[in-house]
Amino acid sequence: MRRNGGFTRFANSASRLTGRAGTFALAALVVVVWAVTGPLFGFSDTWQLVINTGTTIVTFLMVFLIQNTQNRDSEAMHVKLDEMIRAIEGAHNALLDLEELDEEALDRVRLRYRALAKKARADVAAGGHDIGCEEVEAEVERDEIESDEIESGRRAGGKIEPGDADRRD
């Protein structure tokens, strides 16, 4: 395994530290101290500027730390789910890297699974079982090909509509 870079180590440490109750208590204490010192400074513009500037800087920097942490967590979760799909016998390997599909193709797969879930619930309600499912690999593969063709058509300036992949010569 590769060692984490400097920013990743910093982001991990910062996210662990900022997510603790003690850090929240410290931030709340800073706000209380700031509020208590208001009368000492006559509630001046400078006094207000201190808290506004401080919170703006902290918020700005935290956005990037939070996004970095969420991106890494999301990527790790996708890899773990992909491994589970790959390792489970009977699972549909066509669902690996599903997050890489464009929105339209992903919507078609999602609708397909909603239909499978609806059918399974109806089967259970009728006294049946919901184990097993119809094949989805060919449909997902078709959606990937269609997405690639639509995207390459957009890059080439051509107009390709969804479903054109099904009408190849």
Q: pLDDT, tens digit, for every residue of 81-130?
A: 999 998 998 888 888 888 888 899 899 999 988 988 888 888 888 888 77
Give the C-alpha separation, 131 to 20, whole Å: 43
What local confidence, expressed as pLDDT, does residue 74 receive? 92
Least confident of 29-38, 41-50, 134-143: 134-143
What local confidence, expressed as pLDDT, does residue 168 receive? 37
Q: Let me know: does 105 contact 146? Beta carbons within 8 Å.
A: yes
Last residue of a domain, one of 65, 87, 109: 87
Asked if 116 and 139 sit in the same domain, the reply is: yes
Asked if 118 and 63 sit in the same domain, the reply is: no
Averaged confidence pLDDT in the chain: 81
Average pLDDT over residues 140-153: 65
What local confidence, expressed as pLDDT, does residue 116 receive? 86
State the residue range of the domain holding 148.
93-167
